[in-house]
Amino acid sequence: MIDIKKQLQNINNSINQAEIKAQRSSGSVQLLAVSKTWPAATLRLAAQAGQNCFGENYLQEALVKIDELSELELEWHFIGPIQSNKTRDIAAHFDWVQSIDRLKIAQRLNDQRNEQQAVLNVCIQVNIDNENSKSGVNAENVISLAQQISQLSRLKLRGIMVIPTKTDHLSQQQSAFLRAHHLYSELQQQFPGIDTLSMGMTHDMQIAISAGSTMVRVGTGLFGQRLTPNV
Ligand SMILES: *Cc1c(COP(=O)(O)O)cnc(C)c1O
């Protein structure tokens, strides 16, 4: 079995190296541990090694883990596609939602977020390469959606999340990340409290950090290859 503590150190070291290389301050990039398919016991090992933010894609699976690990005060990020009938549970159990791709979902999360809870942190998922098959808002529609979300009092708009087209071409990866960074800067100028550019995964986190990412979402690099393929 993979040594989670050691892997976590490795990932944090790579993040730190990438920050230095990009002349960015230490700690400017946060690590989100993407724990889909892994059981609560595995997450607990990561938590014991100091990781406290976890990203989950599937609601039912996540709810089991959130419940099992409730004594640990972890920060939970929903990063998967959202159907409207799932918003009530997401609003009740998560701290962040990074995959907002339409106003209706934002409105439902806002209406369903309990007054006793802190506001729900959200990011707009941007389809930065305008792929037909991909979820997310096209770049040209982000500002208007951000305007609408900023009116919702139970949500706090924190930034954007991007998953660029898979490619091995460095220049293509850089181009997508730089376009995302440009959009993020534009949002920062127009809205208060924008501080999150969620981009970069196991295989492209260094490039994402050099382009200005503030949060990398790492799954396989931390926990190993997922046993269920294509998730
Ligand atoms: C699965 C997933 C990740 C993590 O991908 P790895 O390649 O395993 O690091 C990051 N972001 C999202 C949205 C994901 O679904």
Which of these ranges, 62-71, 74-83, 129-138, 178-187, has the smallest mean pLDDT?
A: 129-138
Determine the residue of 37, 79, 222 to mutate for testing ligand 1's pocket, defined as the one with the most ligand atoms within 8 A of the Cβ atom: 79
Token digits of residue 131: 């792929």
CATH code linked to domain 79-219:
3.20.20.10
> Which residue bears the tokens 């889909």?
36
Cβ 201 under 6 angstroms from ligand 1: yes
pLDDT of residue 229: 60
Q: What angle do CA 128, 88, 67 make, to 5 degrees?
A: 100
Residues 6+ apart with CB under 8 A from 33: 8, 43, 46, 51, 53, 54, 55, 218, 219, 222, 223
- The CA-atom distances, in angstroms, between 182 and each of 62, 108, 177, 179 are 32, 29, 9, 5
Which of these ranges, 3-17, 60-74, 215-229, has the smallest mean pLDDT?
A: 215-229
Work out the pLDDT band at 111, boundaries 50, 70, 90: very high
pLDDT of residue 133: 78
Q: What is the pLDDT of residues 123-134, one digit of tens each?
A: 999 999 988 877
pLDDT at residue 88 greater than cutoff 90: yes
Instruction: Give residue 27 CA to ligand 1 midpoint distance, Å.
Output: 21
Q: What angle do CA 129, 15, 20 make, to 5 degrees?
A: 105
pLDDT of residue 65: 98
Nearest to 69 by CA among 54, 59, 49, 80: 54
pLDDT at residue 99 greater than cutoff 80: yes
Helices (H) and strands (E) counted in the chain, each on its own, are: 9, 9
pLDDT of residue 78: 98
